Homo-oligomer: A and B are copies of this chain.
Amino acid sequence: MSRPCPQHQHPHRLIQQPLSDLTDKLRRGELKITAPRQAILEVLRKHASPLTTKEIRRALGKADCDLATVYRNMHTLERMGLVRRHDFGDGAARFELSPDEGDAHHHHLVCTRCSKVIELDDCFLDRFQEELARRHGFSGISHRMEFFGICPTCQPG
């Protein structure tokens, strides 16, 4: 017997405030608003660092949904601008609201022992990136950059 998410009955009640262009797209009807999608975006907005699907599902709490549904929605939201990242070294994809939507472009400093993530404010690579595109004839260029190390708490001694 399949039951909808508890909040699925009146999804429109869930809209509170804009999250990003993604929410606007939802509003404009380019993407249907469902409770799971809305809840996923809320979760992502509340967390500074990218989350795995399991973390997202756990954070959904009472709005708990099937993992397959989370995965499907991550694909849907990705097509609408959500950012999927595979570069945290453990094989699990992580998601975050697009850096282009709202906040400025940023990167991370990750502790290789406890996985703590520190957000780095700005990115100085844009100029270099343009130069790179010109030199190699690439278009639509973007980049990923991650720093790894051992944070003060995890350091021996």
Which residues of A does B touch, CB under 8 Å? 84, 86-91, 93, 109, 111-112, 118, 120, 124-125, 128-129, 132-133, 136-152, 155
Contact = CB atoms under 8 A, between A and B. Distances in A.
A118 B91 contact: no
Contact of A129 (B136, B147, B151): B147
Number of copies: 2
A51 B6 CA distance: 45
Give 9 closest A-B pairs by Cβ, nearest first.
A87-B87, A141-B149, A138-B149, A137-B152, A145-B145, A143-B147, A144-B146, A139-B150, A86-B89
B144 A145 contact: yes
B144 A149 contact: no
B150 A138 contact: yes
B144 A144 contact: yes
A140 B144 contact: no
Contacts of A91: 86, 91, 93
A136 B118 contact: yes
24 contacts: A84-B89, A86-B87, A87-B87, A87-B146, A91-B93, A109-B136, A109-B138, A111-B138, A120-B132, A129-B147, A132-B147, A133-B149, A136-B151, A137-B152, A138-B147, A138-B151, A138-B152, A139-B155, A140-B150, A141-B148, A143-B145, A143-B146, A144-B144, A144-B145
